[in-house]
Chain A
């Protein structure tokens, strides 16, 4: 009985030691492999209004992701996330059709970001912006 108790005690000690060694090995390994904080562009992006002619779109980086500024025919401006809500591809601006096409699975969006056809489950996310002195400030 005494010998069984000693064996169990040693087993527990050994198990504890093994767990400590495993933790001391896994933690540095996890920290080494964990994604690093990426420096993204400033939360606000400024684009001269003249860079976005009527009927055209301008793509830019916004907080580490792709975004787009569209000036519809008639002059209305819209800022949207360019990331397709289906599987994360970047949408393309089709100037002739005046809509967005996702090249991965053929999703279509209106210039306002609403889904018109294809698999995207949600509209493109709208981004806030202001216009002052010929400069469009997104964010």
Chain B
């Protein structure tokens, strides 16, 4: 849908589970106006319903019907992107897994030959990535999505299992689904190299200022500052950044020896001290402090 709205790449959505009306209703909460996209020929929704009860299987068959529908849909809007949600329904509706496996293989090749980017969803299998152990092998890229609850906090996670022809991160990354799409938060690439402000601001209490040198460092001591908040309205609580420069600024206060910031063989404080055990501990300690403040 983003492809259709922002990159002018029309798409086809083949839904095996939700009808067109249900889809329109459900995605409107994410800020998409399907009605409009369909009307402008940017999106083609095809609801494929397979009722196992009304189908009798007699002899050889193939999924050419699906291919033809897909091909027609792609050609109608000139689609560049295709979503198949979800192929699981085919397995549930059609009785012959051997034909189905061969046909899904053929389907993926067909989509490739059409030059479209296709996303096919699959349900996770028991001990396998997909229930039928097929889709992950015929696709070029596999992304595993997960939503786990840990200590009453649900976190969605994403992991790239496979990406042919490309290097990729192998870890699980947390992500959010928001009104403006998906935000992936790759923690490992998040830098912590903010500057530590050296500016000092008055606490509003002259005697306390003397005790603190000249006052608080801007951006530090939130807990302390909050307590004196009423003294000076200009002292709004600011976020504490538990970053390396902050730690380096006054290591004594953090109960850490100065040399923590130097790794063996490096002349100056390292920019990637994440490997260093005491640094990690210090960060943990600071994180805890932040949370409690």
Are A and B interaction partners? Answer: no
Q: Could you list which residues of chain A lie within 8 angstroms of chain B, going by C-beta atoms?
A: none
